[in-house]
Homo-oligomer: A and B are copies of this chain.
């Protein structure tokens, strides 16, 4: 898993830099060491030629499991987790890409593995372990063929491993990325899963591995088609308002962000790297019926099956 997240980070940052072109933006690598045990590499780009902001983070943590985290797990009704002391191992990748062009969608993906072992215990016999993750697309303007392409590629990666995964995780994604106070989904979905532990861990790892490595194929062809389309100031304004909704979801509803914000000593810049460079809030803005903006909202209010 540690190798996987490092390789995937290299693959995706290379693809993003290629899209930026020879004189485009380059990632700034910000490595950090967690004094309790663990390392991370944040790759950040701001104000590139194609991307307004892009972040691809990995973290690999091996340390004592904090009591706050154990309490949180017990509250989620996980059986068999006592007071500890336990060691934990976590490896994850998390990325968000916000392009400049309002016709090109924002994309997010995240894959993670979590393991809890008794202190001094055997790593082949963890007390608990699971995988989580997913990917989802957030357009400001809806191109149906893009939504179909994105879902098709991720469905293929799922179907290789379990025919039940895509339908279940697609639905879970629509439910999770619900900006409840707006009655809208954040975007046109993808997949979302958590607490995945129903099979041999190596089998699930292969599934997560294939999802992760399908990212470039999911997103880059869409970006290529849209990144140079002409657009108006009105289109840009609408994109900035949609970015405001993105901020609302991440700060108000996203479990990972909420958990990060509530964790003392956390690296706050990494938790909030998903926020766009710029966002906008206009009072009472409602698109005219029949416009492309209204068409997007329709799909966000009533998630569709794309494949």
Contact = CB atoms under 8 A, between A and B. Distances in A.
Contacts of A247: 247, 251, 279
Nearest to A247: B247
A10 to B, nearest CB: 20
A288 to B, nearest CB: 17
Given A281-B276, A284-B30, A268 B182 contact: yes
A280 interface: yes
The oligomer's copy count stands at 2
Interface string A83-108: 00000000000000000000000000
A252 B261 contact: yes
13 contacts: A28-B283, A42-B283, A46-B282, A53-B281, A53-B283, A181-B266, A240-B278, A247-B279, A251-B251, A269-B284, A272-B281, A277-B280, A277-B282
A158 interface: no
A181 B275 contact: no
B46 A268 contact: no
A135 interface: no
B181 A283 contact: no
